[in-house]
Structure 1
Amino acid sequence: MGTKTVLLLLVGVLGAYYVYTPIPDSFEEPWRFMWMATQIKTVTNLAVFAEQLGISHFMDIGMLYMSSQEVPPTSDENVTVMETTFNNVLVRVYIPNRKSEALRRAWFNTDILSRRTANRLDAVVISTNYRLAPKYHFPIQFEDVYNSLKWFLRQDILEKYGVDPKRIGISGDSAGGNLAAAVSQQVINDPDVKIKLKTQSLIYPALQTLDMNLPSFQENSHFPTLPKSLMVRFWSEYFTTDRTLEEAMFFNQHVPEKSSHLFQFVNWSSLLPENFKKGHFYNSPTHGSSELANKYPGFIDVRAAPLLSDDSKLHGLPLTYVITCQYDVLRDDGIMYVSRLQNAGVRVTHNHIEDGFHGALSYYGFKIAYRIEDQYLSWLSKNL
């Protein structure tokens, strides 16, 4: 066997190893998923490499990739799209073109479904362009979303856009789900906001910063769309570029003993249904020093981790829809929040996707994306 043949064989084997991803039997389109996972892996590896060489920050590469997926604010025959500011925060507004004699419902959105939601539900949709890490850290993102929502909930603004004040909802996926949940909690306790939300929809949301060893983190630690290492990096970058917080979070050694009372709100042994606890045993958290919490108190702030809210502050939340996916490190965040909300008397619809993975709704072309979208918009149509 010649040298060239050996090299080609070696390259082929290494390439196959790089591309191959173990995939559950329940997945509808395994090869399409494998190709998508390879793209994510490639972008992540390039970001790590560029950061190690000092070329660019890891998060900047990720943001560049995400921006390449964005759709420009162009109008079409169904929806008029415009960009403006609400309280100095850049937003994108989607308004259906068809005439409506009645006031429209409104959806304050941080996910990618804005155009489809506007057209299918005949709704005015507001998408907030909040400022991102690593240039900006918490609470900037929360404040951007909250300030723009508070501006929109004024009677004169609703009249301007022809919106029914009794039919306003908020939604978000992943980090957007975190912001939607946090903002919803803030709105119900703000005496200056007279018009309240009717619904909130949280799509595989990130809701807690205390326990990075939940069963879902253990089971999906290396699952390609959002491995544990990447999720922990995202969380730490939300608060600081100091990598010591990331390391402490990864090993669950970041919460000081003085904040140990907060673990009751994320205790999966009491908040997860039995089928999600099988094969797992709850260990008491390992406490870290107070230094990180003193420097970066955001990670124990309820505005960053909505699951840390006590029951009395959850009670007044609006009708809620939660999507969780089986193959997702954030699965248990959403499921625990469902339990917390139900215990507080909030009406909740929980849609758990057994063959779902983090970001599934975002990958158009996949059958699962259209299935989840249809379920999601059907719920909105009936309840908003």
Structure 2
Amino acid sequence: MGDAKKSQKPPLMAGGTMVRVGLLVALVAFSLYRPLPEKMTKSTIDKVAMHIIEPVLRLSYYYPSRICPNAYCMMYWTRGTLNTLSKLIGPLFDYDANLLMETTHWDGVKVRVYHPRNNATTESDGAIIFIHGGGFVLGNTEMYESVTRTMAKMMDTRLFVSIDYRLAPETIFPGGLEDCEKVLEYVIDNGPSMYGVDPRKIVVMGDSAGGNLVAAITQRRRESKALPKILGQVLLYPLLQMSDLQTYSYRYFRREMDGLAVVDPLSVAYYYLWYAGVDVNAHPEFALAATTNGHVDAEARKMREESMDYSMLPLSFLDDANGTDLPQPVQPNKELMAHMSPFLTNPDFAPLMRRDLSNLPPALMVTCEFDVLRDEGALYAHRLKEAGVRTQWTHYEHGFHAMLNFHNELEIAREALDDIKEWTMALMRDAQVE
């Protein structure tokens, strides 16, 4: 009997342990749960996926980066974590049945090159140059391997190139921009002999900060009258200005999305200031001031008012503020103003500030509802159309910034990739006819 009683203890102890573990898991899940905006993502599958993806991002990089002792720690932690996570959701093997792929250097710039195993089967003899996002501070071709490899197969052109341009704070403006221009010139000069590319059929595309670089490149080529002209530009939720970090979409974020692991105003301020050569590691107060527009002097404010007419936004964008969401009080910082004024008014740094947008390549503008950069993308699309540029603006009411990086997990991201492919290949086909 004594032995029988003893034999009952282990199951009871195991059961107690399971209960404690279950309670701990439930407590962690409860503490991590944050309701997402109701309209973020559309399908049930996407909503479930986002309630997994967002807490993972928040736990892995967002929370740790916020307790870092300084800005360098925040930046390096975020770089390392996102690089690691991207490998977990990216391709397992460096092989594809349809593509030949290599990582090399063109004119000193690291690039990831994709081209078809059989040129004869391609729909177009054009080329696509992709510039990744990451606020000029994060990202690389490895982090974007999943989305760029998928795009390269979908687009069906002779060449698809992803650029590993130099990042801030190690390399400040205009270093990354110049790297991208070098790759563009290399494709123009060498694409015909190396890959059978028609240099008149080059489309440049980029997301976030990459969209900024695309806009700047196309503007600069027009200014210099460089030939051949770029066939088209694809701007994916681009970062186009730093004169107003209190737009309606920025204010909506502060009210409804603060604390979620998506692109936030403070991160934009840190990264964009680093790109401008500001030492935010030594002066974190500069980033805080910038989120209130405390970095904007009178000259930059005047140019902002000329370039950003918010009355042109859809009423639904303006309604986001509900009439009560007023801008934060400006915390002016004269030292920061003096440094930033030449950058804020320079279209190479902030393409939305370019006064004349005429004679630019046809454009596809993609914006997302749940994105601090939504308004500036919409305004740029409006101004391109007003300037006579053939422009398609596609807005995803259920989308969010950087969603394309989750194209394997989210239906809305795959839908966006299909739309991008359709626009790009239609442009290529039109060029074939001409």
- What TM-score do you get using the length of structure 1 for normalisation? 0.88
**Structure 1 residue 357: deviation in Å?**
0.9
Q: Quote the residue 1:230 is aligned against.
A: 267
Contact 1:255–1:287 (8 Å) recurs in 2: no
Q: Quote the residue 1:329 is aligned against.
A: 372
Runs of 4+ in structure 1 off by over 6 angstroms are 4-8, 281-285
Percent identity over the alignment?
A: 27
**Structure 1 residue 109: deviation in Å?**
0.6
For 2:179 and 2:236, how far apart are their aligned partners in 1? Answer: 20
Q: Higher mean Cα deviation, 93-102 or 201-210? A: 93-102
Q: How large is the RMSD of aligned CA atoms in angstroms?
A: 2.9
Task: State the Cα deviation string for residues 188-246 of structure 1 (Å, max 9, x = none).
Answer: 1224x321111100111111101111111111222532222222232223222322331
Q: Secondary structure of the equivalent of 2:199?
A: strand
Contact 2:289–2:331 (8 Å) recurs in 1: no
Matched, 1:209 2:242: yes
Q: Quote the residue 1:118 is aligned against.
A: 152
Instruction: Flag the 1:26–1:37 CA change in 2: closer, same or farther, 3 A.
Output: closer
Instruction: Flag the 1:332–1:151 CA change in 2: closer, same or farther, 3 A.
Output: same
Q: Quote the residue 1:38 is aligned against.
A: 55
**Structure 1 residue 342: deviation in Å?**
0.9
Matched, 1:152 2:183: no
1:188-337 paired onto structure 2 within 5 Å: 188-191=222-225, 193-221=226-254, 222=258, 223-239=260-276, 240-242=278-280, 243-278=284-319, 279-280=322-323, 288=332, 290-296=334-340, 297-310=342-355, 312=356, 314-337=357-380
Q: Quote the residue 1:172 is aligned against.
A: 206
**Structure 1 residue 98: deviation in Å?**
1.7
Greater relative CO (CA pairs within 8 A, separation 6+) = 2
Q: Secondary structure of the equivalent of 1:216?
A: helix
Contact 2:211–2:238 (8 Å) recurs in 1: yes
Larger radius of gyration: 2
Q: Quote the residue 1:65 is aligned against.
A: 81
- What TM-score do you get using the length of structure 2 for normalisation? 0.79
Contact 1:105–1:122 (8 Å) recurs in 2: no
Q: Quote the residue 1:142 is aligned against.
A: 177
Contact 1:214–1:268 (8 Å) recurs in 2: no
Count of matched residue positions in the alignment of Structure 1 and Structure 2: 376
1:93-132 paired onto structure 2 within 5 Å: 93-100=113-120, 104-111=125-132, 112=144, 113-123=147-157, 124-132=159-167
Instruction: Flag the 1:116–1:11 CA change in 2: closer, same or farther, 3 A.
Output: closer
Contact 2:40–2:400 (8 Å) recurs in 1: no
Task: State the Cα deviation string for residues 90-132 of structure 1 (Å, max 9, x = none).
Answer: 1111111123288711001124433233323321011110112
Structure 1 residue runs without a partner (length 5+): none
Q: Quote the residue 2:219 is aligned against.
A: 185
For 2:174 and 2:290, how far apart are their aligned partners in 1? Answer: 19
Task: State the Cα deviation string for residues 261-320 of structure 1 (Å, max 9, x = none).
Answer: 21124434233122321235897995945532433443442112110110x2x1011110
Q: Secondary structure of the equivalent of 1:301?
A: coil
Instruction: Flag the 1:169–1:25 CA change in 2: closer, same or farther, 3 A.
Output: closer
For 1:8 and 1:178, how far apart are their aligned partners in 2? Answer: 47
Residue type of the alignment partner of 1:93? V
